[in-house]
Structure 1
């Protein structure tokens, strides 16, 4: 698989993960420069029924998904081509080491956009910065994630 085919394959895999589907996540951008994940408002994602705002765990999870995508891109960016079996083996070993989420304002909106970029990528660990905005561009949360990639 070429690097572009790999990125498309990974994006499709993230779209099909059961938890990501439960949250309604869709990968809308994924390349070596950045990742973008979107989802629509749903009453099932509410954490405070009186205020009708997103649950903090949903926000943290979405940031983690975006950061994880970016970490995968950083690891695959150093590979010229890889067989599907090797990709599955490497992908299965990648995981979140640590994530910090800063909640800036209540999660209100009709659509939410999580973006991620790599801050530092090494052979074993990648560090990513993630942000969550609503469709109006209001900054809801930001995160920093550390991911095992090698």
Structure 2
């Protein structure tokens, strides 16, 4: 699974979209997956509203999307199905209000080592040039020693 071409990530794409119950609830779709990078789309659902007066996405849902995108980008560097990746820390800055539209997350690895990965995630809506939120995620990586 380590840093191979697009076709080599088909199982990872399938697992993230279909084998993780939260991602199925989100309706998450991987738009692009390549070594050290993932972009995902989450369609807007009324259940994701956190501010019912202004019809804004719930910040916790946005954070979950960022964490999922970051973890998926980190997973592109794993060597085998026995390797594991887990969130250690995450910071998110909410920059612009969201509207009743889909979210696109773009996650890129900033640094990856034997035991950790640092991933930056940008969340966008529509054709906006500026992200609605930015996240920095740090993951622990547990590699199978065999």
Between Structure 1 and Structure 2, which shows a larger proportion of helix residues? 1
Map 1:123-138; keep pairs closer than 5 Å. 123-137=114-128, 138=130
Q: Which residue matches 2:15?
A: 13
Q: Where does structure 1 lack aligned partners over 5 or more consecutive residues?
A: none
Aligned mates of 1:29, 1:112 — CA distance in 2: 14
Q: Which residue matches 2:74?
A: 71
Q: 2:136 aligns with which of 118, 126, 144?
A: 144
Say whether the 8 Å CA contact 1:109–1:134 is kept in structure 2.
Answer: no
Count of residues in correspondence between the two structures: 138
TM value normalised by structure 1: 0.85
After the TM superposition, which parts of structure 1 deviate over 4 Å for at least 4 consecutive aligned residues?
none
Say whether the 8 Å CA contact 1:109–1:135 is kept in structure 2.
Answer: no
Aligned mates of 2:12, 2:117 — CA distance in 1: 17
Q: CA RMSD in A?
A: 1.7
Say whether the 8 Å CA contact 1:36–1:115 is kept in structure 2.
Answer: yes
Aligned mates of 1:72, 1:97 — CA distance in 2: 14
Aligned mates of 1:136, 1:44 — CA distance in 2: 23
Q: Where does structure 2 lack aligned partners over 5 or more consecutive residues?
A: none
Q: Which residue matches 1:46?
A: 49
**Cα displacement (A) at 1:33:** 4.4
Say whether the 8 Å CA contact 1:32–1:70 is kept in structure 2.
Answer: yes
